[in-house]
Structure 1
Amino acid sequence: MSDEQDEVIQFLLNPAHHGGAPVDHVETHGAHIFLAGDEALKIKRAVSYDYMDFSTLDIREKMLRRELELNQPAAPEIYRDVIPVTRNEDGLNLGGSGEPVEWVLRMWRFPQEAELSQVVARCEMTDRLAEDLGQAVARYHAQSSRRDADGARLIGEIIEELETAFSGMGQQLGDARVAQFSSRAWRAFDRVSPLLTDRSAAGRVRRCHGDLHLRNLVLIDGRPVPFDALEFDETLGTCDILYDLAFLVMDLQHQTLHRAANIVLNAWLFEQGGAEDGSLAALPLFLAIRAGIRAMVDVQTDAAAHREGQSNKDAQSYMDYAGRALDDAPPRLIAVGGLSGTGKTTLARCLAPEIGRFPGAVHLRSDLERKALAGVDPLEHLPEDAYSAASAQDVYDRLQERAETILAAGQSVILDATFMAPAERETVASLAQRAGVDFTGIWLEAPEKTLTNRVTNRREDASDADASVVAKQSKRDVGDIAWTRLDTNGELNDLVTRAFDIVR
């Protein structure tokens, strides 16, 4: 750090330059942030890493202006402008006349408790919020501009850069972890590099957020908003949209929020309309690289803040996560059937995070696919003709098509539908046989009165089933049920335990 920047830091730390408001100082590996009153002021550290250079004043100004440009469209409630710290005969001034000695990104301050990292720390990451999060990221990616870059080359260069950085971090990360990461990441890369190149041609490489983890998401009016997109390197900010999402999924799992991570992925995939199902073949590598980057940043931030070794344990845990993400876990297919109100979706959501490789099985739900095929919002009620035999067949065809693609990509699948017709159950078993994966069928049951009460009390759910639907279903002959039957007229924890005994 230069003496001049140290002087600027001391200036910005002084409450007198913030109307007397106390100042909180937050340090990252690339920035200093000063929180005072309703403002947040950010300067770039005068540092240079292999992958990031803020060493000159001109570069720091350029990067702050790029940060404003990238983030203001998605978060106009936060980002304001870029102003100079100037020097004149009276000393330093914020936004005054004189020669600029530093540049500041000025933002509106949001409550720290609104950061997603703080929401998680308070154990307030609900299923609804996880769904909103996956949908918000999908919308962000839909608005991201496409880039003409080879996805395989981009990922290969990141692995090379991590190797270079890790070569000097053996003491902090452990030599064995570093060596294992390198060899396994390259093997995974060799397997998926053709896919990554194909995805480039299909427009899946875009100018993304680039740093999408929990500390860079905030709740504004109850909705998740991404901020602090990566601005210092257009190459690093240009990436596959699934790689962008992988940072968030990895971060949630690192916080042991496996259920939330699974829901985020499922919500994002649903918003993609099935177009991203085949991309899941690259997800293990993406998760591992994102974890490796977090480990590297931990070590570098300690060095920049002169607190060497403080984050070693955390960095090592990221490297361990990377190893688990690359572990082989054969995909499998699970079908959960039963009448409306038996609890199929509730059980599937409990099982999904624990099935197969990180972050668990893709949960495909007939109610959601029906709404997608009709082109309506999941909560919009469909007319009765949307439930004709022909429409139902379209839904089951769609479920099978998506499941087959996902299984081929190596990810497990849970199918959640009534499966009342014997032919529907036979077809899904045949799908598993065709895909060469293990299959488990679970049939849920409960008394008609219980089912009626459940569907009547549903709120904000994609299912259109009501008491009349339950009455009709209860009179249908569903044929012989060869799947494992489970009574759901009891405690959920007991049901989940029994279900896990079946699928494990």
Structure 2
Amino acid sequence: MIAFLGRHEGEGGGRCDHVETHGAHVFLQGDTALKIKKAVRYDYLDFTALETRERMLRRELDLNRPGAPQIYRDVVAVTRDGDRLELDGPGAPVEWVLRMWRFPKENELSAVAARGELSDALADDLGRAIADYHADAPLREGDGADRIQAIIEELETAFGAMGDELGGSEADAFITMTKAEFGRVAALLRERAAGGHLRRCHGDLHLHNLVLIDGRPVLFDALEFDEELGTCDVLYDLAFLVMDLLNRGLGRQANIVLNAWLHTNGGRQDEGLAALPLFVALRAGIRAMVAVQTGAGEREEVRAQARGYLETGLAALEPCEARLVAIGGMSGSGKSTIGRRLAPQIGRMPGAVHLRSDLERKSLAGVAPKDRLPESAYTAAASDAVYDRLAARAAAVLATGQSVILDATFLTPVERTHARDLAAQAGVPFTGIWLDAPVEALTRRVDAREGDASDADASVVRKQVEKDTGPIDWQRVEASGDREIVAKAVWERIVSAGGSSPAGSRDD
């Protein structure tokens, strides 16, 4: 079978590349990819029967084709006619093949990230694409807490025999911390399952299973062999990717993905962030376990990989006090740029939730982030609604233990006072930052914007400058210079503001 498929003539011709995984053979030739399941049995799957292999390939097609029609084509039989094998011939099936369109290996997001090309814009697109995927994912019934408890118990059993590879004290600390965290959020997990957040998800959402097609991120290769494993909280599904990015040192991208996913969900997932540390840790623990179990490579290499995952999981569980940072200033002062730059460094992993007034205004208006609103949408009542929404979301996020950056003009004393009061009500430290820049610099920046959620132009800036902002008691930072220098100055103000220090130095 391997020899036959290795000789198959795909569209475009050329050499056939054979890729082997623990459960499949994939043959790549020209524009075509052919995949067969191995006739193997593991603790978690059994592909020894031909009927099972066919069913799993058809399930893989059904799961993936709706979201990735550019990749998934059909399932066909390898048939036998005498001594000759044929693809989709008239004879009896002897194997089943998932036929796909091939994509360039270098377009996998794991390769894109390795080249240092996982940009802010791509990370933002990725978070939105995953949110859209989850919105269409079928609802499932079940106990969200029982599922997570079973994972912890499985890891505890496995880690008990992996002390040499993982480090006995680290593995013990991981299990102790995950159990404590589970006790804290178990009721929330049950509420989320009852509230529609338990779905038939992707199940294997990491960078190797994401690809760029026509410049857009596409999810593929969803977990097909176990419906129980594929059914989970949508935030647990996302946590796999967040963990993968963190483990690769891509904390900035992890933060952007999370923020884009949260915004696309319209705030409906904010309360779930209380479970994010546990979810990220468990995803890391599973990868550590699998690294040891599969044991691909030299022993020291396997040990380093497994311990690296365990360290990521322990870091996600590290306690860190939440805080609220508000960044104000005229349009064009750089609030959103600075907010995005600093969000990964503030609070627990993967950083602060960055709430932008521009994005919330578009959400309230029911338009896409980059759609321009008419001037009539910028009434006093509309602005009040935007600030109310910012406050509501910030309160919900802070209650989960995640830090928040509020990004708005804050042109009035009342707006600035409300931000400070919000932190006081949540019982978290507050830092108010005001970005100053000459009007010439502000107008130059807004005129140069492209593809941004802000609708402000030079005329808006001039109107803002003419307003009486009243006394500003926030920490003022001169913001007309280089953005990196400005970001460093703002960071220094945040660190020196008192209260619990944010989780700095995580500058990826």
Shared fold per TM-score greater than 0.5:
yes
TM-score grouping bracket, smaller chain normalisation: over 0.9
Residue 418 of structure 1 aligns with an amino acid whose one-letter code is T
Q: CA–CA distance in 2 between the matches of 1:381 and 1:22? A: 49
Q: Deviations over 1:449-500 (max 9, x none)?
A: 0001111111111111111111111111111111111011111121111111
Q: Deviations over 1:263-318 (max 9, x none)?
A: 11111101111111000000001111111222233334436xx8766533222211
Aligned to 1:391: 382
The correspondence for 1:313, drawn from 264, 287, 304, is 304
The correspondence for 1:183, drawn from 173, 176, 192, is 176
Following superposition of structure 1 onto structure 2, how do residues 55-70 of structure 1 map, counting pairs within 5 Å? 55-70=48-63
Alignment RMSD: 2.0
Q: CA–CA distance in 1 between the matches of 2:286 and 2:245? A: 15
Aligned to 2:457: 466
Structure 1 residues 314 and 284, CA gap change in structure 2 (3 angstroms):
same
Match status 1:193 vs 2:207: no
Residue 322 of structure 1 aligns with an amino acid whose one-letter code is G
Cα deviation, residue 73, structure 1: 0.8
Residue 353 of structure 1 aligns with an amino acid whose one-letter code is P
Aligned to 1:23: 16
Cα deviation, residue 374, structure 1: 1.2
The correspondence for 1:437, drawn from 428, 439, 443, is 428
Q: CA–CA distance in 2 between the matches of 1:91 and 1:185? A: 55
- The answer to whether the Cα contact below 8 Å between 2:10 and 2:30 also exists between their aligned partners in 1 is no
Match status 1:340 vs 2:331: yes
The correspondence for 1:272, drawn from 265, 279, 290, is 265
Q: Runs of 4 or more off by more than 4 Å in structure 1?
A: 14-20, 306-310
Structure 1 residues 300 and 445, CA gap change in structure 2 (3 angstroms):
same
- The answer to whether the Cα contact below 8 Å between 1:211 and 1:247 also exists between their aligned partners in 2 is yes
The correspondence for 2:46, drawn from 32, 36, 53, is 53
- The answer to whether the Cα contact below 8 Å between 2:11 and 2:31 also exists between their aligned partners in 1 is no
- The answer to whether the Cα contact below 8 Å between 2:10 and 2:29 also exists between their aligned partners in 1 is no
Cα deviation, residue 426, structure 1: 0.9
Cα deviation, residue 14, structure 1: 4.7
Structure 1 residues 166 and 95, CA gap change in structure 2 (3 angstroms):
farther
Structure 1 residues 165 and 354, CA gap change in structure 2 (3 angstroms):
same
Aligned to 2:395: 404
Cα deviation, residue 177, structure 1: 3.1
Cα deviation, residue 92, structure 1: 4.3
Q: CA–CA distance in 1 between the matches of 2:159 and 2:47? A: 21
Q: CA–CA distance in 1 between the matches of 2:80 and 2:299? A: 34
Residue 297 of structure 1 aligns with an amino acid whose one-letter code is V
Instruction: Give the number of equivalent residue pairs.
Output: 495
Following superposition of structure 1 onto structure 2, how do residues 30-109 of structure 1 map, counting pairs within 5 Å? 30-87=23-80, 89-90=82-83, 92-109=85-102
The correspondence for 1:141, drawn from 127, 134, 141, is 134
Q: Deviations over 1:399-447 (max 9, x none)?
A: 1110000000110000000111011111111111111101111100100
Structure 1 residues 481 and 327, CA gap change in structure 2 (3 angstroms):
same
- Gap regions ≥5 residues in structure 1: 1-7
Structure 1 residues 11 and 172, CA gap change in structure 2 (3 angstroms):
farther
Q: CA–CA distance in 1 between the matches of 2:248 and 2:439? A: 40
Cα deviation, residue 51, structure 1: 2.6
The correspondence for 2:412, drawn from 415, 421, 439, is 421
Q: CA–CA distance in 1 between the matches of 2:332 and 2:359? A: 15
Cα deviation, residue 88, structure 1: 5.1
Aligned to 1:153: 146
Q: CA–CA distance in 1 between the matches of 2:362 and 2:39? A: 52
Match status 1:205 vs 2:198: yes
Structure 1 residues 114 and 161, CA gap change in structure 2 (3 angstroms):
same
SS of the counterpart of 2:74?
Answer: strand
- The answer to whether the Cα contact below 8 Å between 1:362 and 1:414 also exists between their aligned partners in 2 is yes
Aligned to 2:122: 129
Match status 1:371 vs 2:354: no
> Which of 153-162 and 456-465 deviates more?
153-162
- The answer to whether the Cα contact below 8 Å between 1:24 and 1:35 also exists between their aligned partners in 2 is yes
- Gap regions ≥5 residues in structure 2: 496-508
Q: CA–CA distance in 1 between the matches of 2:173 and 2:21? A: 28
SS of the counterpart of 1:337?
Answer: strand
Structure 1 residues 55 and 326, CA gap change in structure 2 (3 angstroms):
farther
SS of the counterpart of 2:410?
Answer: coil
Q: CA–CA distance in 2 between the matches of 1:174 and 1:227? A: 34
Q: CA–CA distance in 1 between the matches of 2:399 and 2:141? A: 27
Q: CA–CA distance in 2 between the matches of 1:71 and 1:151? A: 24
Aligned to 1:3: none
- The answer to whether the Cα contact below 8 Å between 2:212 and 2:218 also exists between their aligned partners in 1 is yes
Aligned to 1:5: none
Structure 1 residues 19 and 340, CA gap change in structure 2 (3 angstroms):
closer
- The answer to whether the Cα contact below 8 Å between 1:333 and 1:414 also exists between their aligned partners in 2 is yes
Structure 1 residues 105 and 14, CA gap change in structure 2 (3 angstroms):
same
Q: CA–CA distance in 2 between the matches of 1:227 and 1:218? A: 8
Residue 206 of structure 1 aligns with an amino acid whose one-letter code is R
Cα deviation, residue 11, structure 1: 4.1
SS of the counterpart of 1:311?
Answer: helix
> Which of 350-359 and 37-46 deviates more?
37-46
